[in-house]
Amino acid sequence: MKKSILLSVLAGITALSLVGCVSTGRISDTDKNPFTHGNVQLTLKNGVTTQADILEKFGAPNVATVNGSGEEVWTYQKHATVSRSSEVGAYATIILAGVGGRTSGFEQSSRTMTLIIKFDAEKKVSDFKSMSSSF
């Protein structure tokens, strides 16, 4: 009986330490994520922004091609899945008490950003389109 109680306490302490390790981060416009609609609009200027500027800000593109008009086209596709817990203290209580009433304490969302940039002969942005979706 005492061994069973000791194992339960140790399991509870282990669970508490693991709950503290759960990522609660969110991607937001204030984070250092360059792939936001606002950041794209602020960074890219037709006839001004160069390929070197874009490489510095966004990194290498997922796809680099040349279209039928001879323009170089870079495509970026970024996907993020964000998970977070909403009530860390409540989960610790549930784990320690052994109550199974709650089945989910985590939220998960996905965000996708597609950015297509066309360049002129001088390697400057001639046009760009961006699309983002969250679900």
Domain boundaries, the chain: 23-87+96-134
* H helices present in 20-121, as ranges: 37-43, 51-58, 88-97
Whether the predicted pLDDT of 5 surpasses 60 = no
pLDDT score recorded for residue 32: 65
pLDDT at 87: 54
Ramachandran bin of 98, using left for φ above 0, alpha for ψ from -120 to 50, beta for the remaining angles: left
Hey, what are 23's tokens? 């990522």
Task: Give the residue ranges of DSSP H helices in 44-134.
Answer: 51-58, 88-97
Structure pTM?
0.59
